[in-house]
Each structure stands twice: as structure tokens, then as C-alpha cells.
Amino acid sequence: MFKPKKILIEPETCPRCGASFTCSKSGKCWCFEVSVPDSVRDEIEKVYDRCLCPQCLKEVSVGGKITIKK
């Protein structure tokens, strides 16, 4: 029996700002289109255990603080 491939898109909550967003676990996620320096990506991974929302990822990629926004 043929089973269609599932594209995994899951709702997420940004650990930095609390915003809701979607994350595609299929490898074609929006985040691959954001240029993030390796050093910044390493820092994000040290601080957070899940993905940041589009706005926060864009902010930290251009020098915004990685820590949680209040």
C-alpha cells in the first residue's frame, strides 16, 4: 500500500521571546534561508534546546543579544 510522505511541520514556541511559529523538521525549513554565522549558531545551541522564531533568529544573526528577551 502506498503511503504519502508526511512533511513534518510542528508548532513551536520561541524560547527567546515566547512567540508561536512553525518549524519544518523535513529539512526545508525557513531557518535554512537565514544566514547565521557559525559562532552565533554555536552560542544559540549553548543557550537554547530548541529553535528560535524567525524574528529572533534574524535579530541574533545580525548581532542581537542571544539571551531571553524580557
Q: Could you read off the pLDDT of 12-48 as tens digits, one per residue? A: 899 999 999 988 766 678 888 889 999 999 999 999 9
67: its cell numbers:
539571551
Assigned domain for 1 exists = no
Assigned domain for 7 exists = no
Res 4: pLDDT: 53
Tell me: pLDDT of 56 over 60: yes
Task: Show the domain range for 23.
Answer: 16-61
Greater model confidence, 70 or 12:
12
Assigned domain for 48 exists = yes
Res 8: pLDDT: 59
Assigned domain for 55 exists = yes
Assigned domain for 9 exists = no
Assigned domain for 43 exists = yes
Res 24: pLDDT: 78
Assigned domain for 36 exists = yes
Closest CA to 69 of 32, 41, 59: 59
| CA 33 – CA 51 distance, rounded (Å) | 14
**Residue 14 φ/ψ, nearest 5 degrees:** -65, 125
Domain total of the chain: 1
Greater model confidence, 6 or 34:
34
